[in-house]
Amino acid sequence: MTKLNETYTLNNGIKIPKVAFGTWQMPAESTRQAVLEALKAGYRHIDTALAYQNEKEVGQAVRDSGIARDEIYVTSKLPGETKTYEGAKKDFETTYNNLGLDYLDLYLVHAPFPWDEMGKSENIEKYDKANQEVWKALEEILASGKVKSIGVSNFNVHDLKSLLSTAEVKPAVDQIQYYVGYTEPKISQFALDNDILIEAYSPLATGRMLSNPTVERIAEKYGASVAQLAIEFVVQNGAFTHKEHILDNARLDFVISDEDMDTLNGMKDSAVDMYHHGRQE
């Protein structure tokens, strides 16, 4: 379980675990126990969001775990629909009270658009100013000490450039859909050039990865599951990731060869991406 204990260093000098336990689509009633089991398995980064409706249970698990608070990294997110300065401040207070923790380690803008407007090319510049105002609120929340780092999610190159044009604090993270066959090279390169860490979500391509014969063959070579290989691929590409399968994904004690990494990086996924389809980089 070595990878669970390894970290990256963000652009503000703070360390972040390379692998996180995600709670998306996790019912509130089962979240506390699932997070406790994840922490017992060795995970030290828990990812939630106001939109997931399970922040209270995540916070309860962190408090009940018996693990020192500074040993657990907690991420939450501002809803994509919230696009005003005042709304961002209000929603953060809801998240802060839900979690019941002294501070959050990372707070992200969940999306550049409201979710029901994602993928509409005519919206590329529509929310630029709104995101700048929201970011101002996050910078003030950061300054308050209630959050250690701030970042974004689902932002493409245009969104990042717009934000950086007025930001006083650079985003520490951009959490994007990223997996074998879909590595968002333009966003990844822009983030690298600007010292923004990429976080990969959906490392199994929401399940499609599990039945890919090439991925299956390479995983078998390392005595690993497809899930383990998919996560190790993301980490070796210099991103960090989160996934919900606790014990299976915890064993990341192998290294993918350069040749196999080239094969995996050369794969292309033909599925339409619901978040970025129709958008320009």
Q: Please, what are the domains in the chain? A: 2-265 (3.20.20.100)
Indicate the angle between helix axes 157-164 and 128-144, nearest 10 degrees. 60
The structure tokens 């606790």 sit at 246
Residue 278 has which token pair? 């129709």
Q: Which pLDDT belongs to residue 65?
A: 98
Choose the catalytic residue: 52, 73, 107, 182: 52
Q: Which pLDDT belongs to residue 130?
A: 96
Q: Which pLDDT belongs to residue 1?
A: 43
d(CA 178, CA 241): 9
d(CA 11, CA 278): 31
Distance (Å) of CA 138 to CA 51, 74, 85, 223, 249: 17, 16, 9, 44, 32
Q: Which pLDDT belongs to residue 180?
A: 80
pTM score, whole prediction: 0.86
> Widest CA span of the chain, in angstroms?
53
Q: Which pLDDT belongs to residue 242?
A: 60
Q: Which pLDDT belongs to residue 100?
A: 98
Local confidence pLDDT in tens for the 281 residues of the chain? 456 788 999 999 999 998 889 898 899 999 999 999 999 989 999 999 999 999 999 999 999 999 999 999 999 999 999 999 999 999 999 999 999 999 999 999 999 999 888 766 666 788 999 999 999 999 999 999 999 999 999 999 999 999 999 999 999 999 988 778 777 889 999 999 999 999 887 666 555 666 778 889 999 999 988 888 888 888 888 876 665 545 455 566 789 999 999 998 888 754 434 334 333 33
156 C-beta neighbours (distance < 10 Å), count:
20
Q: Which pLDDT belongs to residue 250?
A: 54
Contact by Cβ (8 Å): 239, 178:
yes
Contact by Cβ (8 Å): 39, 67:
yes
Q: Which pLDDT belongs to residue 177?
A: 82
Q: Which pLDDT belongs to residue 183?
A: 76
d(CA 110, CA 227): 25
| DSSP code for 92 | H
Q: Which helix (H) or strand (E) holds 81?
A: none
103 given a catalytic annotation: no
d(CA 45, CA 75): 8
d(CA 61, CA 31): 8
Q: Which pLDDT belongs to residue 5?
A: 80
Q: Which pLDDT belongs to residue 233?
A: 86
Q: Which pLDDT belongs to residue 266?
A: 87
Contact by Cβ (8 Å): 175, 153:
yes
d(CA 34, CA 31): 5
Q: Which pLDDT belongs to residue 205?
A: 59
